[in-house]
């Protein structure tokens, strides 16, 4: 790991200005992705701006129609929240599948969404539930936020403040874990929202995506059977040592059906 300067910001303004004042400064949240990247010299920022003391970035707020999750809220806090369990149970269940207990004690939703790992869980939640990503300067809909592999609509020093999830009528998540990394080999989130049925797939391709044909079929008939004859195009999917694209295509359908069956 190359050395770097470290700043612990006490406000959003200070954090954004500090990263903006460098060529390659980075925000530091839980560090569960960034610290391993530093160790492998995949990243060598001149400055790390630690967000841990910015109170404004923490916490869960629920009103009648939506749930706001502060960027620095840990996976464990979402998993354990009684309010989240009641309002958006799928989110608490999804958080509980991430990594292991120690990763969940540190990793944050803001870090996960900003990183947009192709196999990460929260991008499926944000896209599937139709969330809005609130930053220091604007709100970005999830439909335009996830731009590509490890790529998002964020500008270099743009800070995620919170993720706003509209509360779905019901939703389910089914994940097939890659047992060594515990990331998703494939996972699917299915939601009945006031804007219609949404289906988000992670792990299967370089970036989380919506499956429109499955959405249309479930709009007609919200049952696992409705997906029996949907064509999943393997050509668009990842092939690697853990699974071929044909295997992933099969998983996409099976997991979507399980997610429908699990929806509540």
Partner 1 sequence: MIAVEMTVNGQPAAANVEARTLLVDFLRDHLKLTGTHRGCDTSQCGACVVHLDGRSIKACTLLAVQASGSKVLTIEGVAPGTTLHPLQEALREHHGLQCGFCTPWVVMSALDLLQRRPDPTEQQIRDWLEGNLCRCTGYSGITRAIATAAATGTTRSDNS
Decide which of ligand FAD, partner 1, none touches 112; Cβ closer than 5 to 8 Å per partner kind.
ligand FAD
173 lies in the site for ligand FAD, by CB under 6 A:
no
Sign of the CA dihedral with 99 first, then 102, 108, and 111 last: negative
DSSP assignments along 195-256, one per residue: TEEEEEEESSSSS-EE-HHHHHHHHH--SGGGGTT----GGGS--BTTB-HHHHHHHHHHHH
Phi (first) and psi of residue 36, to 5 degrees = -60, -35
* 41/64 with CB nearer ligand FAD: 41
Residues between 69 and 88 with contacts to ligand FAD, criterion CB under 6 A: 71
Q: How far is the CB of 240 from partner 1 (least distance, A)?
A: 19
Q: How far is the CB of 119 from partner 1 (least distance, A)?
A: 15
Q: How far is the CB of 179 from partner 1 (least distance, A)?
A: 10
Decide which of partner 1, ligand FAD, none touches 3; Cβ closer than 5 to 8 Å per partner kind.
partner 1
DSSP assignments along 122-145, one per residue: HHHHHHHTT-EEEESS-EEEHHHH
Q: Which of 116, 133, 138 is nearest to 209 (CA)?
A: 116
Q: What is the largest CA-CA distance in the chain?
A: 56
Residues between 19 and 58 with contacts to ligand FAD, criterion CB under 6 A: 26-34, 51
* 106/210 with CB nearer partner 1: 106
Quote the tokens at residue 253. 């359908």
108 lies in the site for ligand FAD, by CB under 6 A:
yes
Under the rule (CB under 6 A), what is the footprint of ligand FAD?
26-34, 51, 71, 98-99, 103, 106-108, 110-112, 114-115, 117, 120-122, 159-160, 182-183
């Amino acid at each position: 790991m190359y050395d770097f300067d470290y700043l612990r910001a006490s406000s959003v303004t200070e954090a954004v200005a500090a990263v903006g004042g460098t060529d390659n400064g980075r925000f530091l949240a839980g560090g569960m992705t960034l610290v391993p990247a530093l160790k492998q010299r995949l990243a060598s920022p001149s400055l790390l701006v630690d967000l841990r003391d910015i109170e404004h970035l923490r916490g869960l707020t629920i009103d009648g129609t939506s749930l706001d999750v502060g960027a620095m809220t840990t996976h464990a806090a979402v998993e354990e929240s009684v309010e989240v369990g009641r309002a958006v149970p799928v989110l608490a269940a999804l958080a509980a599948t991430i990594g292991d207990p120690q990763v969940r004690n540190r990793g944050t939703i803001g870090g996960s969404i900003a990183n947009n790992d192709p196999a990460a869980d929260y991008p499926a939640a944000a896209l599937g539930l139709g969330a809005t990503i609130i930053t220091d300067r604007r709100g970005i809909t999830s439909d335009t936020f996830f731009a590509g592999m490890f790529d998002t609509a964020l500008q270099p020093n743009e800070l995620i403040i919170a993720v706003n999830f509209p509360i779905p009528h019901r939703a389910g998540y089914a994940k097939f874990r890659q047992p060594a990394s515990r990331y998703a080999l494939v996972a699917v989130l299915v939601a009945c929202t006031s804007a219609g049925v949404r289906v988000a797939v992670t792990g299967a391709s370089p970036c989380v995506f919506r499956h429109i044909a499955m959405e249309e079929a479930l709009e007609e008939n919200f049952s696992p059977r409705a997906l029996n004859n949907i064509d999943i195009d393997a050509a668009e999917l990842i092939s690697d040592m853990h699974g071929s694209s044909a295997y992933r295509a099969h998983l996409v359908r099976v997991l979507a059906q399980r997610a429908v069956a699990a929806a509540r």
